[in-house]
Every structure is written in structure tokens, then in C-alpha cells.
Amino acid sequence: MNAEPEAVKEALEAVKHAREMLQRWSASNPNDFGDGYRYLNDALKERENALKERENFYLQIRQIPSQALVEPGTKRARTDSQTNELTFTTFTVDQMIFDTITPGKWFKVSGLDVAGLSTDNIYEKMVYCRQDTKNLMNALDNMKRGIRIYGPPGVGKSITTWYWICNQVQSLTKTVLWIHVSKRSKPRIARLTRDVTYYVPYQADEIIRLVDNAQEDIVVIDGVTNRVDHVDLESVVFGFDHNPNRQAISVASMSIKTNLEDENLLKLSAFEAAPWSLDEYYQATENEVFFKSVRHFLVNDECSEDVSEESKVNDDNHALVDEKYYYAGCSARWMFGTTIPDVIQQIDKYFRSAPNFVDLLKGIVGSQSPDRVNHLACEQGPSKKRFFTSQHISRTAISTGGDEIVRLAYGVANGLENDSFTGWIVEMDFIQQIMDAQGGGLDVKLNDGTTITFEVAKCVRCDTDLLSMDSVKKAIKEEPTAASLNNVWLVPTKWYQAGYDLVCLRICKDLLVLRFIQVTAAKVHGLKLQHFRALTLKFFNRLGLVIHGIEIFMAIPSDIANCEIPDSKVQGQICDWFVGNSKERWNLRNSQSQVLTVKFDKTECEQK
């Protein structure tokens, strides 16, 4: 590598020193952002600005220190205008601390802006090490010539690989060519050495030539781009004609068919990253330091005053994870690095450009849509069946995809033997059957075999937490009165609605009764009466409707014998109201005995 101008070397050292001072201060005073922090932070910014000014010295460099930038067949470095765009960064691998990575612990990763992995100007993150993270580290340690890393988006493939290659640069003085590509932005190409990191100015359609001639010890291609066919790109990444001693890594959410004999001949291995499970999210947030670093991504800033009061009781790690899991599902990026509104926005964008929902689960995609499809559904479980990434995605797909998607989703969920996934489909199946019954009714059976009909005048989506005259009027498109709301079913729009899935106002012998439905496929379920109480009071306080009684039904598929509600799973009380239109009040104790169970036929069963 050519000698660096002394002025820039001094500026780099000044930045490193200022950054170390700030890091030491933050480590000793983790919650102090007062004068001391501001002084050190301002000093770092001043030194970074000074470095940027001195980088102009490098713009005069004509001999770029990488044979990857030498035109094939020559020994002269390129001297075109692209050379003048060479930019040195303030990031060096010395900024990262490389300890033994242990499952259950967290580690910090820096330089995410350099790697093209930063979002919202966040350049470093704390990463929780689950067992799959450790397995990926081991796979990278043990690779021979190269490795293909694939799996669902947002589970930690890229950030873990970036941490590993930075460690290789620092501890083994390896040189690395890191190429991050995506379909929505220009490629981020960086060359890492022990002393300095700088960007290499290449466009996406020039990457194949760049990789083919790269002389770095390790070449990493991270992501997929429309500008270059991924199969062609991987064939060059794992082609070692110009540098038989280099190693190569490909990281992508999509996998390509390979020939096992060719892979063995090239000494290539493969690693499939696993989706995150709910238990792994629980384990991660039990680490107090890690939880504090991601908590702002778990809290919904758009919750109402009623939700915030509930949060005072439920604001614990698991409750926040449960609420976010509804949207994020198995994507840790969505769980720990994206707000709920942004997750919803991204999912809506992928749905607008995805193929039809049946093809989504079957994995039938066009050449331009695998990235979108992989965000909405991914292979899960030992059987590697494709299923929805999150419950919100399943709800969106099923509500607009019709009976065919419901039957297909049942088959996949049953094949995965995942009770939670089956529960998602059961819930949406019943809600969809209620919606399809508008203007008529849905027949269900009590445990004794008696058939009853849920009359459905209309079915509308409504935020029951923000229940008001205006919101209900907007939903039903008329003034909310007892008569206009009779047999109108409200489907809550709230994220992770607790307590119930549907609610309906009924007029029974001039008495107003609220009918609540909780849909479940579980044999044991909880009963959170505080949520029924809160909504019943809203009907009086906000709509002026005096509710005489409350009905609670547990709706279960007909292939389940019964649903038990143990005493330990009952919370709250509704003893101020009667049971339906009767003169019997809800018990303060053993109220679950007054809950009725109804059975319905699943959509797949209707087709037999």
C-alpha cells in the first residue's frame, strides 16, 4: 500500500483518539449525556471535519492500492474520473472490540454506514447473540475457499458477517473487499485493511469485472441487485482464476440451485440462517443492556391514552415483544431495528408489488420479485415450508386472498406443526366467515350440539381503543345508535388486540348486550376480563349506550374437543353486568364457567 500523506495520517489518529475518548466516557457514564458528553462529542465532530478536509490530498492519488482497480491485462492503475472519487472513511476496525461471542450475550458492531447496513443514520448497533449467530460464526471460521450464506431477510446474516470480516482484518491483518448491493440503492463497496478503510467507486454493472480481478484476501458480496444477475455474480465471486488464494462469501436472502460435486470441488460450504422465534426474542430482551438499546423500537409511539394506561400494567419485556411480534414475526430487523409504523409501511409496499397470495405461499415468484416475496414469507421449521413472516402479513393476505389461501395456509401450518401458526389461520378464518356472512348469519354449534346463529347485519373494522361517535360513524357510515349498531360486528384494528377478536352489539328484548368473541385453536386459553370491561364502559361514556349484559364466546374449530380456562388464567372482573339478557350477573369468582364455547367448521373442512 502506498505511503499516506502525513497530514491525513495525523487527522486519522486524531479522529481515532477522539472516538476512543468518547467511547470510554460512554462506557463509564452510560446514562450521562450532559456537558462532558457534549464536549467530547463536539471534539469528535471537529476532528472528523478536519479529516474530511485533508482527504483532498488523496484525491490526487493515481495509483490505487488494490489490484482490483487495475485494468485487465495491464499493470497500470486506472486514471479515469472514477479514481478521483476515492473516499477514505473515519472507520477503522480498531473501533470494534472483538470478544468471544457467546449465546445469550450481546456484542457491539460498528461501521454499519460503511457496510451499507445502517438505517436512520445509526452507524453502530448492539447485536444479541442467539445460537444461530454462534453457528454462523463457526461456519465462517471453518470455511475453506468460500461459503454461501442465505436465509430470510432481517435475521442477522449481513451484520454478523460484517463483524466477522472486521475481526479477520484486525486480528489476522487480512484485506477485505466488501460489496453491498440492493435493488433500491447504489452499491456500497469498501476495501478494509488493518489501518484504513475506503470506498471503491464502482457502479453496479461493473461489479463483475471488479470481483473477477480482486486481489484481496476475502471478497464478500452482500445482497442482490437488479443490475447484475445473481447467478452470474455468484459464479464470479466463487471463481478463483485470478487469485487462487482468496476466500469468498456470498450473503443473500435467496438461494440458488447448485451442483454438489462442483461445490465440493471448489471447497464451498453453505449456511442457512434460521428465522427468529418468539422464545429467542424473549431471551434477547431478558438481557437488560440489550433491552434498553432496542426498547424504543418495541414501543408503539402512536398508541392512545387508553393503551398507555394499559401499558403501565403490561410494560414488561415480554408484553412489548408480544405486541411487536404481531407485526415483525421472525424478522429481527423489524423487531429490534424498525418502528411499528415503518414495519407496516414496508409490508404494505411489498404487498403492492408481490404476486398473488397463493403463489406467495407456494414460492412461485417472478425474476424481479424474490426480494419482496422473501420479506412476506420464508421457509420455516424442520420441513422448510414457506409460511408468512408475521401474523399481520397472514391477516392481510387472508383477508383479501379468499378461501384458497386459507386452505393452503392451513396445510402449511399443519405441516410445520406450529400451534401459533395454526392459531393465526384459525383466527382469520373465523373472522373472514363472519365478514362473508354480512346480511345473513353464521351457524355455529354449542358443546351440546345445539346450533345457534350469529346474525351479521354488517362487519366493519374499527379501532376499539379509540372508540368515539366520530370513529364509529365513519366505520358504519351513519349515526351510531342502538338501532344502527344492532348486529353490527366490529373487527378491532389495534395491533395485538388483547382479550377479544370480535365484538357485536345486540338488542335483546329492548336490552343492549355486547357479544364478545375470542377465537382460538388452543386447548387452554386465558380470559382477560379487564378488556371487556373497558370497552363496555366506552360504549356508555363515548356513545351514550347503556349496556345491560355481556356475552363471551370462545370460538374454536370443530376438530377441537374443548377449550379450558383455568382459574390462574382469569384476570379482571365484569360483575357489574348481567350475563347476556338474563338476570344472572357475572361471578366475581369462577366467571369462566359463564363463558360459552362454540364450534365452527374450518374453511378447509367445508371443501371435503
Q: What is the pLDDT of residue 210?
A: 82
Question: Which residues does 424 contact at the CB level (< 8 Å), separation at least 6?
Answer: 388, 391, 394, 395, 413
Regarding whether 165 and 17 lie in a shared domain, the answer is no
Question: Which residues does 47 contact at the CB level (< 8 Å), separation at least 6?
Answer: 11, 14, 15, 17, 18
Could you write out the three-class secondary structure of 573-590? CCCCCEECCCCCECCCCC
Question: Which residues does 458 contact at the CB level (< 8 Å), separation at least 6?
Answer: 438, 476, 487, 488, 489
Q: What is the pLDDT of residue 65?
A: 40
Distance of CA 365 to CAs 188, 230, 368, 369, 412, Å? 27, 15, 8, 6, 18
Regarding whether 485 and 424 lie in a shared domain, the answer is no
Interhelix angle 340-353/317-328, nearest 10 degrees: 20
Regarding whether 205 and 154 lie in a shared domain, the answer is yes
Regarding whether 518 and 474 lie in a shared domain, the answer is yes
Could you write out the three-class secondary structure of 106-136? EEEECCHHHHCCCECCECCEEEECCHHHHHH
pLDDT digits (tens, 9 = 90+) for 339-365: 999 999 999 988 887 766 777 677 665
Regarding whether 502 and 428 lie in a shared domain, the answer is no
Q: What is the pLDDT of residue 189?
A: 87
Percent of the chain clearing pLDDT 70 (strictly above):
82
Are 571 and 526 in contact, with CB atoms under 8 Å apart? yes
Q: Report, as an integer, the average pLDDT of 252-259.
A: 67
Are 227 and 184 in contact, with CB atoms under 8 Å apart? no
Going through 118-214 in order, the beta strands assigned E by DSSP cover 125-128, 146-150, 176-180, 188-192, 197-199
Regarding whether 414 and 283 lie in a shared domain, the answer is yes
Chain mean pLDDT for the chain: 83
- Rounded Cα distance, 384 and 365, in Å: 17
pLDDT digits (tens, 9 = 90+) for 91-140: 888 888 888 889 999 999 999 989 999 866 778 899 999 999 999 999 99
Regarding whether 326 and 261 lie in a shared domain, the answer is no
Are 201 and 82 in contact, with CB atoms under 8 Å apart? yes
In the predicted structure, residue 470 carries a pLDDT above the cut 90: yes
User: Which of 208, 238, 272 is a domain's end point?
Assistant: 272
pLDDT digits (tens, 9 = 90+) for 433-455: 999 999 999 999 999 999 999 99
3 state DSSP class of 72 = coil
Question: Which residues does 434 contact at the CB level (< 8 Å), separation at least 6?
Answer: 442, 454, 456, 459, 489, 502
Q: What is the pLDDT of residue 68?
A: 39
User: When comparing pLDDT for 89 and 142, which is higher?
Assistant: 142
Can you state the percent helix, strand and coil of the chain, rounding each to 5?
A: 45, 20, 35
Q: What is the pLDDT of residue 6?
A: 57
3 state DSSP class of 314 = helix
Domain that holds residue 563: 437-606
- Rounded Cα distance, 83 and 80, in Å: 6
Q: Report, as an integer, the average pLDDT of 579-592.
A: 93
**DSSP classification of residue 259:** -
Regarding whether 89 and 168 lie in a shared domain, the answer is yes
- Rounded Cα distance, 252 and 588, in Å: 56
In the predicted structure, residue 88 carries a pLDDT above the cut 80: no
User: Which of 216, 238, 272 is a domain's end point?
Assistant: 272
Q: Give the count of domains, the chain.
A: 4
User: When comparing pLDDT for 80 and 159, which is higher?
Assistant: 159
Q: What is the pLDDT of residue 369?
A: 52
Of 449, 430, 601, 459, the residue nearest 519 (C-alpha):
430
- What CATH code is carried by the domain that includes residue 237? 3.40.50
Which pLDDT band, with edges at 50, 70 and 90, does 1 fall under?
very low
Regarding whether 482 and 389 lie in a shared domain, the answer is no
Q: Is 182 exposed, middle or buried (0-12, 13-18, 19+ CB in 10 A)?
A: middle
Distance of CA 516 to CAs 263, 537, 547, Å? 58, 14, 13
Regarding whether 593 and 454 lie in a shared domain, the answer is yes
User: Which of 384, 413, 433 is a domain's end point?
Assistant: 433
Regarding whether 600 and 462 lie in a shared domain, the answer is yes
User: When comparing pLDDT for 410 and 76, which is higher?
Assistant: 410
Q: What is the pLDDT of residue 417?
A: 84
Regarding whether 297 and 160 lie in a shared domain, the answer is no
